[in-house]
């Protein structure tokens, strides 16, 4: 796992928690497979730009906000 994938996954988990949303609910909102969204949230995969936009939209943030990570 890369540090960037882990940071994005942590951000997705934090945003879900703030919105009281599960990974399954996020997957349904984005119309992406649950396993795929789970892999992003776990930091095992990095979403492509198209998937990143779908995740950000479902979480109610910009892609910049979704990508906001602390210095690695």
Domains and CATH numbers, the chain: 3-67 (1.10.260.40)
pTM as predicted: 0.89
- The torsion region of residue 31 among left (phi > 0), alpha (psi -120 to 50) and beta comes to left
Tens of pLDDT, residues 24-60: 999 999 999 999 999 999 999 999 999 999 999 999 9
CB count, 10 Å around CB of 15?
20
């Amino acid at each position: 796992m890369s540090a960037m994938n882990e940071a994005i996954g942590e951000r997705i988990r934090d945003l879900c928690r703030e919105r009281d949303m599960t990974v399954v609910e996020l997957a349904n909102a984005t119309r992406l497979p649950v396993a795929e969204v789970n892999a992003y949230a776990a930091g095992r995969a990095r979403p492509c730009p198209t998937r990143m936009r779908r995740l950000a939209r479902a979480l109610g943030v910009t892609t910049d906000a979704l990508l906001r990570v602390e210095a690695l």
